[in-house]
A and B are shown apart, each in its own frame.
Chain A
């Protein structure tokens, strides 16, 4: 019996030695990256993913960003380093649950090199840790909550944002209200989301710093339809400005019901980029005429060219204001991949994940549609934030205040810009 086992064992050993000698040659590349590499065989595509809100009330944000990513891919002829670019996507919705689900799915796919997303700060706050732990990079076209890029708050390695932080947007909105509108009292309403809450805090802090008075800071629940109670509370102090940086449909209800409340006749309504959607004027109704929205404002010849491409590919104009950031984010990701990729003779590509993070952080002086972008560390001590900040690419230049007119009720989009910092 033991003889037979010995025989079988020796045959197996010899066979395995023979097979090993005939097997494919071990690749010359050895991954030395601290958090691993993505290996792309010659016939495989470079896989990037989006996590955007492509259904529901905030789908306008997702469609806006997704279209821009597709245009950025088209601009490279659909190829990167000689490989096809594969874009897959998850619907991250505009909620923590959606962000978490999308991140879990994306993190489970080892072929994904980088992620463009999310749209909403609430989704990013929930997704950021899963994405970071998976060694991925994530570039957001429209997360504006300040905490996302502040170390010790929400920030995690691998997270970058290409749009402005609300430290800038809240400041621009408060400056406009105080200096241009001459407002001295203001009230704010948020909806409990990281985006709305942090933005109204920045607004209130800046407004007080300028010498104004905040009469009321309150919140509505997502899903509320009756805003009369909170509007009545706001009206008790008759503020000059009511700033509500929230989303549809809660923003629609506030605008529509504001005219019924005694005491709000002279209050100017102001929203933010969450309401900067082509569907907003029609849904909110005639009260929107005259109200202001803060949000991204991009100009320039390169941007006009981008709009022409959009019109050719999809028809019309983008439904929101963040497409240019999504376009820049995609290009920053592609440039960084090109920079760090190790290409073998047969076309196999290796991308070090930590190297990719470092390459994006090192992005400096990149001339995008939205200005000159530097993705390195920032110093926000001027805003009263002492903690270090990482991953903010934007300078906050591409911001403006829009005013909705009668034209927007009849389908015109985007509304005219009345103020830029």
Chain B
């Protein structure tokens, strides 16, 4: 018995197990210490949770773009964060003029629909162009090659916007209809966060139905299973891939508007970088290539990075926890890659795909 155990024993596994235990102990100790100190009220925790959910739903919408493309092409579209920026940046001008003319105040619903339509169109068209120019000619190239062109596309988009609109920060105007708070279970929650959360969830359900119930969705699933067989079955593979990029881009554009409602400041040419990486983390967290995984991964990441710096790290006596938020989110990415590379909802990928 002992002999067999020793034969299988590996120091790497041992240290990983030790690492796992250390993390769990740190988590439990940190959380208990913070809760026992009673420094924060329940209202403050609820504030952080709802802000995290709203932020997470924005991550989720962007993460869907990553995961759709990965599912079908097995590549990471690193320009996706900038596609999101493009929609948000373009729509900020429309939002400002709607606000100045008073239309935003009189017809908030129409205004928001117009903004979402504009941002989604811009992001959609841009994403399709990126696919056509940067990825399609390299469809059969080694897998590292489209990754490099993705980074090139990312810089091209960023600095084109810098050239077009300058490096200043812009801000979405406040939407009067969405200001204020509502009561949920005795807590005051900003209306805008609830609206963003619900709208994002509606879009995600719509996407799920689109993939599962429509003919195009079926084609997308077929191409993601096996491109060659799909082509034999009469599916236009290039067109299906273009549609996938279009859908991902449109969702990113909508996420740009939701972000503008939830967090109006800081619209500038580089704004897509961090949300892009966070959304990628969310997609990996949920299991890359898996659509419901991206939705839940986004929401979970949003809540974790909103709540846990205060909840866990502060209890461990770490100072300036708010500055560690990004570090915390990316530590989670590393943890997933170590302990559960397939993500929460992902299945282990076959050799061909991985």
Verify B322–A285 contact, CB threshold 8 A: no
Q: Within 8 Å CB of B43, what residues of A?
A: 262-263
Question: Which residue in B188, B263, B268 is a CB contact (below 8 Å) of A253?
Answer: B263
B274 at interface (Cβ–Cβ under 8 A)?
A: yes
Q: Within 8 Å CB of A261, what residues of B?
A: 44, 47
B209 at interface (Cβ–Cβ under 8 A)?
A: no
Verify B188–A262 contact, CB threshold 8 A: yes
Verify B264–A59 contact, CB threshold 8 A: no
B40 at interface (Cβ–Cβ under 8 A)?
A: yes
Q: How far is the CA of A357 from the CA of B44 in the complex (A)?
A: 56
Q: Within 8 Å CB of A218, what residues of B?
A: 320, 322
B41 at interface (Cβ–Cβ under 8 A)?
A: yes
Residue interface bits A245-272, CB-to-B below 8 A is 1, else 0 = 0001100110011001111000000000
Q: How far is the CA of A256 from the CA of B264 in the complex (A)?
A: 9
- Interface residue ranges of A270-321 to B (CB < 8 Å): 279, 282-286
Verify A283–B171 contact, CB threshold 8 A: yes
Known: A224-B325, A236-B44. 18 other contacts (CB 8 A): A57-B268, A221-B323, A223-B274, A225-B266, A229-B322, A230-B322, A233-B321, A236-B40, A252-B169, A252-B265, A253-B266, A261-B44, A279-B168, A282-B171, A283-B169, A283-B170, A285-B174, A285-B264
Residue interface bits A214-241, CB-to-B below 8 A is 1, else 0 = 0000111101111111101101100000
A10 at interface (Cβ–Cβ under 8 A)?
A: no
Q: Within 8 Å CB of B51, what residues of A?
A: 226, 228, 260
Q: Within 8 Å CB of B188, what residues of A?
A: 262
B61 at interface (Cβ–Cβ under 8 A)?
A: no
A56 at interface (Cβ–Cβ under 8 A)?
A: yes
A55 at interface (Cβ–Cβ under 8 A)?
A: yes
Q: Within 8 Å CB of A225, what residues of B?
A: 263, 265-266, 274
Q: Range of interface residues on chain B?
A: 20 to 34
Q: Within 8 Å CB of B217, what residues of A?
A: none
Q: Which 9 A-B pairs have the closest CB atoms?
A: A230-B322, A252-B265, A229-B322, A262-B43, A283-B171, A249-B266, A249-B169, A56-B167, A236-B39
Q: Within 8 Å CB of B268, what residues of A?
A: 57, 249
B55 at interface (Cβ–Cβ under 8 A)?
A: yes
The closest CB in chain B to the CB of A223 belongs to B274
Q: How far is the CA of A101 from the CA of B170 in the complex (A)?
A: 27
Residues A235 and B322 in contact in the complex (CB < 8 Å), given A57-B168, A226-B306, A286-B174: no
Q: Within 8 Å CB of A221, what residues of B?
A: 323, 326
The closest CB in chain B to the CB of A287 belongs to B174
B-to-A contact residues, CB < 8 Å: 39-41, 43-44, 47-48, 51, 55, 166-171, 174, 188, 190, 263-266, 268, 274, 306, 309-310, 314, 320-323, 325-326
Residues A248 and B174 in contact in the complex (CB < 8 Å), given A220-B322, A260-B47, A283-B265: no
**Min CB distance, B181 to chain A, in Å?**
8
The closest CB in chain B to the CB of A228 belongs to B51
The closest CB in chain A to the CB of B45 belongs to A232
Q: Within 8 Å CB of A227, what residues of B?
A: 322
The closest CB in chain A to the CB of B174 belongs to A285
Which interface residue of B39, B40, B166, B168 has the most chain A CB atoms within 10 A? B168
Residues A252 and B171 in contact in the complex (CB < 8 Å), given A226-B325, A229-B325, A263-B44: yes
Verify B41–A262 contact, CB threshold 8 A: yes
Question: Which residue in B44, B48, B169, B323 is a CB contact (below 8 Å) of A219?
Answer: B323
Q: Within 8 Å CB of B169, what residues of A?
A: 57, 248-249, 252, 279, 283
**Min CB distance, A244 to chain B, in Å?**
13
Which interface residue of B55, B266, B274, B326 has the most chain A CB atoms within 10 A? B266
Q: Within 8 Å CB of B263, what residues of A?
A: 225-226, 253, 256-257
**Min CB distance, A125 to chain B, in Å?**
21
List 7 contacting pairs A-B, 8 Å CB cutoff, sorted by A: A55-B167, A219-B320, A220-B323, A235-B44, A236-B39, A236-B44, A256-B264
Q: Within 8 Å CB of B55, what residues of A?
A: 226
Q: How far is the CA of A261 from the CA of B46 in the complex (A)?
A: 10
The closest CB in chain B to the CB of A218 belongs to B320
Question: Which residue in B44, B320, B321, B325 is a CB contact (below 8 Å) of A262?
Answer: B44
Which interface residue of B44, B166, B188, B264 has the most chain A CB atoms within 10 A? B44
The closest CB in chain A to the CB of B326 belongs to A221
Q: Within 8 Å CB of A282, what residues of B?
A: 171
The closest CB in chain B to the CB of A286 belongs to B174
Q: Within 8 Å CB of A56, what residues of B?
A: 167-168
Q: How far is the CA of A257 from the CA of B264 in the complex (A)?
A: 10
Q: How far is the CA of A284 from the CA of B309 in the complex (A)?
A: 25
Question: Which residue in B41, B48, B168, B170 is a CB contact (below 8 Å) of A229?
Answer: B48
Q: Within 8 Å CB of B171, what residues of A?
A: 249, 252, 282-285
The closest CB in chain B to the CB of A234 belongs to B322
Verify A284–B265 contact, CB threshold 8 A: yes
Q: Within 8 Å CB of A252, what residues of B?
A: 169, 171, 265-266
Verify B265–A253 contact, CB threshold 8 A: yes
Q: Within 8 Å CB of B190, what residues of A?
A: 260
Q: Within 8 Å CB of A232, what residues of B?
A: 40, 44, 47-48, 310
**Min CB distance, A227 to chain B, in Å?**
8
Q: Within 8 Å CB of A257, what residues of B?
A: 263
Residues A256 and B265 in contact in the complex (CB < 8 Å), given A57-B169, A229-B321: yes
**Min CB distance, B192 to chain A, in Å?**
9
Which interface residue of A55, A223, A229, A257 has the most chain B CB atoms within 10 A? A229
Q: How far is the CA of A257 from the CA of B323 in the complex (A)?
A: 17
Q: Within 8 Å CB of A220, what residues of B?
A: 322-323
Q: Within 8 Å CB of B39, what residues of A?
A: 236
Which interface residue of A57, A232, A249, A252 has the most chain B CB atoms within 10 A? A232
